[in-house]
Amino acid sequence: MFPGVNSIWHANLVDCLNLTKRRTISPNAFEATCPLTKSGSQTTVIAKLARFEWEIPRIEQETQAYKMLEQTGLAPQFLGHIHEHGRVVGFVLEKLEGRHGGIEDLSVCKALLQRFHGLGLLHGDGNRYNFIIQQGSAKLIDFERSRYCPGEEEAMNAEMNSLRDQLVEDTGRGAGIIFKEIDADGN
């Protein structure tokens, strides 16, 4: 049997065949619709799943992080685990409306990161695309590299001190898939 995620803590299990892909975000994340209630009504979600065996540990790590962040308001709501014939291979999240962080959001992103560090967590990938700004507040996403490390002040200070540079970085690092319009001449 192929490996799957072991940290199964949420009551909702979503069959991967019930996900209807709407838009690609990154190689293993996409916007989708799926039924989350017994009524079968479709909900728009963000789905993230392991496509290969070597991606399972990343999904496992992120699943554990969402469990720690449940009820904190620091991240999108975790809506359930994605399974393939009973083997958990991913998860679905609340779809957040907003924009990615920028230097104009430094104070709100700093406050969010301080709260995150206050839980003993290090994000590990604080690029601007992992801060979603909504009406003056922010939420964090993408916890594949996060870790629980209470007391590691040096690492947390380094992450906080890099925040300004992360918010002005404009190479697209961390943005997922960026689609570019190409005209008939290839430009």
**How would you write the pLDDT of the chain (187 residues) with one tens digit per residue?**
678 999 999 999 999 999 999 999 989 999 999 988 777 788 999 999 999 999 999 999 999 999 999 999 999 999 999 999 999 999 999 999 999 999 999 999 999 999 999 999 999 999 999 999 999 899 999 999 999 999 899 999 999 999 999 999 876 565 554 444 444 555 4
Specify whether 87 is located in the same domain as 103. no
DSSP strand pairing (20-26 vs 29-35): antiparallel
Specify whether 88 is located in the same domain as 114. no
DSSP strand pairing (29-35 vs 147-148): unpaired
**Residue 51 forms part of a structural domain:** yes
Specify whether 109 is located in the same domain as 159. yes
Specify whether 105 is located in the same domain as 77. no
Specify whether 89 is located in the same domain as 135. no
pTM over 0.85: yes
- Per-residue confidence (pLDDT) for residue 132, from 0 to 100: 96
Angle at 120 between CA 115 and CA 123, to 5 degrees: 75
- Single out the residue of 161, 76, 151 nearest to residue 121, CA to CA: 151
Contacts of 106 (CB under 8 A, 6+ apart): 163, 164, 167
**Residue 182 forms part of a structural domain:** no
- Do residues 59 and 5 make contact, with C-beta atoms less than 8 angstroms apart? yes
- Per-residue confidence (pLDDT) for residue 185, from 0 to 100: 56
Whichever domain contains 162, its CATH number is: 1.10.510.10
Strand-pair partners of 84: 87
Full domain range(s) for residue 42: 13-94
Alpha-carbon distance 86 to 106, whole Å?
42
Reading across the β-sheet that carries 42-49, which strands appear in turn? Answer: 13-15, 78-84, 87-94, 42-49, 29-35, 20-26
Reading across the β-sheet that carries 131-134, which strands appear in turn? Answer: 99-100, 131-134, 137-140
Q: Quick count: other Cβ atoms within 10 Å of Cβ 11? A: 7
- Per-residue confidence (pLDDT) for residue 1, from 0 to 100: 64
Q: Quick count: other Cβ atoms within 10 Å of Cβ 50? A: 23
**In the structure encoding, which two tokens stand for residue 153, read together?**
């002040």
DSSP strand pairing (29-35 vs 42-49): antiparallel
